[in-house]
């Protein structure tokens, strides 16, 4: 599999880079190494189903989707680097999106 970078360069896909990215985001969090490896493997398999060529953006978003489910702090760490956050407003905006995406739906009992 090949990853097409934003620059247009094509590089071989390396699952180890996903492992390292998740591990860095999860440092100090209660996430076992085995979970990190399984998550990276699941991401790699999903990307392989896309085809022999994926974009770096597809890789990044796949990691974000899995981190969102795995650990919100690790997700915020990863997304802050991935999206190049510059100030606190970037964090606030992403936290709002994260909580909207994960809040359980409330049912109106007045129906």
- pLDDT above 60 for 104: no
**For residues 74 and 111, which has the higher predicted lDDT (pLDDT)?**
74
Q: How many residues does the chain have?
A: 111
Residue 82: CB atoms within 10 A of its CB come to 18
| 3-state secondary structure at position 3 | strand
This prediction's pTM: 0.81
Any idea which residue has 């060529």 for tokens? 53
Average of per-residue pLDDT across 97-108: 63
- pLDDT above 90 for 28: yes
């Amino acid at each position: 599999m090949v990853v097409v970078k934003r620059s247009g360069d094509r590089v071989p896909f390396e699952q180890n880079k996903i492992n390292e990215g998740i591990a860095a985001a999860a440092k100090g969090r209660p996430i076992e190494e085995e979970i990190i490896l399984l998550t990276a493997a699941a991401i790699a398999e999903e990307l392989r189903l896309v085809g022999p060529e994926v974009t770096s953006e597809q890789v990044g978003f796949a990691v974000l989707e899995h981190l969102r489910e795995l650990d919100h702090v690790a997700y915020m760490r990863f997304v802050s680097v991935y999206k190049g956050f510059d100030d606190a407003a970037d964090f606030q905006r992403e936290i709002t999106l994260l909580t909207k995406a994960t809040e359980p739906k409330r049912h109106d009992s007045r129906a």
